[in-house]
Amino acid sequence: KFDEATIDSLTSYVLSIQVSDTLPLPTPEISQTKLIDPELQGRIKEGKRTFIVHCWQCHGDGGRGMMGPNLTDEFTLHGETYDDILRVITNGVPAMQMPTWSQRLSEKRIREVAEYVFTLKGSRPSGVKPKDTPQDILSDIIKVSTVSQVSNKLPAHSIFRLHCAQCHGVSGTGGIGPNLTDSTTIHGNETHQIKNIIANGVADKLMPAWSPKFDEATIDSLTSYVLSIQVSDTLPLPTPEISQTKLIDPELQGRIKEGKRTFMVHCVECHGNGGMGGMGPNLTDEFTLHGGKLEDFAATITNGVGGAGMPRWGTKLSPERIGDLAEYIFSITGSKPTGVDPGTRVSRLVNSKYMRPRVDAESLKSGKRTFVVHCEQCHGLGGRGGAGPNLTDEFTLHGETYDDILRVIVNGVPAMQMPTWSQMLSKERIRDVAEYVLTLMGSRPTGVEPDSQRPEGLQGLSPFR
């Protein structure tokens, strides 16, 4: 796009606007004496890293605001002291879709990000007071005044398709959001429970509160529609593996039902609606990767599959919930046979959708373009390392072949904050960027193992952890 002279000019400009690394972060709230304190500076730096990973997408670059409020102006919604900021991060603000971070981050990381946010306050005064209530802010996002008038004229099924189908599917059978047509629910299937969820949302599950957008009559209409698409609770779960005698057993049915709830909360985003496959393998066909017995399922859930991005749920779920989840998965195995063996490698996605293409200059150019847009912010300019590992040296964390690189990009590395790019990029772009990364490997050998200077307990982990 630019000739070399233009790029040189831009380079000089960027250098001219950089501040010295020794200068304190701008803030009127923390004294210069405190900012010079290396320990405090270190905590603020760690807090900024956490902010970039978890807060940037709502609060914007440098906290300047997007869907979430601007954190750099002179106005605050929930108090201006460090303790106020700490409280909001810890407890969240459900009415404004602000998560309860105490459920996800350690107390140390929360304190660090609170200190970082405290340094931002007032650093970019705007002189314009923002809207100061959750209702006001949400109204900007979901445009209350216009949508409510239109929605009131539409039947419930049309409102559902307009506003709910993108998560719950056109017929309510599930997608990113849970299936609403079966008898298994996360928050109850009574009329008042469904109405409450629609009206108030579930902040930590990204379910919005629709009461700022719809009036009570519209919410009642939606509630009735959701109830109307549910199937009878008396229908048995489809499975050839468990005999009808066992299915009639109320205790086993109860465990399978609880297991399905857990699946909807923790597993559907990878294994797809009803376990029919997505980023993770299909669980409903007649093939299994790690054994087809109930004990095999329980072991896989408990221990995870490191090379395939399957988490170790044994560290997060109780033995009872893992047992129930294994019962549910056992009940759906073989319920939708395909007759086509997907292969025996760890990642079925690598076997099918992401076969290695012929290398050509155009695909490498496309891969580099994708890398610059999506990967450089963590892996640094040219893949030389930053928050994410250096991709140009002679060392690798997850394997050195094209298929290894492809698998990491497709499945991500949750423990190291590496996203699951198969949920965001097309298979063509993933193939191209994998080819590009492969060309980087070993292009700048260092002779120094990256983790050799880090404490043993932190080796192989993300700097964000």
Summarised one tens digit per residue, pLDDT across range 241-252 is 333 333 446 788
Which of 111-115, 367-371, 379-383 is least confident?
Answer: 379-383
Angle (nearest 5°) at CA 312 between 310 and 317: 120
Q: Domain 143-228, what fold?
A: Cytochrome Bc1 Complex; Chain D, domain 2 (1.10.760)
* pLDDT at res. 452: 56
Q: What is the pTM of this model?
A: 0.30
The CATH architecture one would assign to domain 361-458 is Orthogonal Bundle (1.10)
What contacts 24+ positions apart, CB below 8 Å, involve 184-189? 184/257, 184/260, 184/261, 184/264, 185/261, 186/261, 186/264, 186/265, 189/227, 189/230
- For 284-426, where are the alpha helices, taking DSSP H only? 294-303, 319-332, 348-351, 361-374, 376-379, 402-411
* pLDDT at res. 409: 92
List every span in the chain annotated with CATH 1.10.760.10.
4-120, 143-228, 244-349, 361-458
CA distance linking residue 258 with residue 241, whole number of Å: 18
Hey, what CATH class is 4-120 in?
mainly alpha
Query: In which residue are the tokens 């043993």 written?
Result: 456
Angle (nearest 5°) at CA 147 between 143 and 148: 110
Length of the chain: 465
* pLDDT confidence tier of residue 140, bands split at 50, 70 and 90: very low
Summarised one tens digit per residue, pLDDT across range 393-413 is 878 888 878 888 998 999 888
* pLDDT at res. 151: 40
Which one of 17-21, 34-38, 338-342 scores highest in mean pLDDT?
A: 338-342
Q: Find the Cα–Cα–Cα–Cα dihedral 210, 211, 212, 216, rounded to 10°.
A: 130
* pLDDT confidence tier of residue 451, bands split at 50, 70 and 90: low
* pLDDT confidence tier of residue 357, bands split at 50, 70 and 90: very low
SS (H, E, C) 352-390: CCCCCCCCCHHHHHHHHHHHHHHCHHHHCHHHCCCCCCC
The CATH architecture one would assign to domain 244-349 is Orthogonal Bundle (1.10)
59 compared with 44, residue with greater pLDDT? 44
Structure tokens given for 262 = 């857990």
CA distance linking residue 310 with residue 321, whole number of Å: 17
* pLDDT at res. 457: 58
* pLDDT confidence tier of residue 422, bands split at 50, 70 and 90: confident
CA distance linking residue 415 with residue 421, whole number of Å: 15
Q: Find the Cα–Cα–Cα–Cα dihedral 124, 127, 128, 131, rounded to 10°.
A: 70
* pLDDT confidence tier of residue 370, bands split at 50, 70 and 90: very high
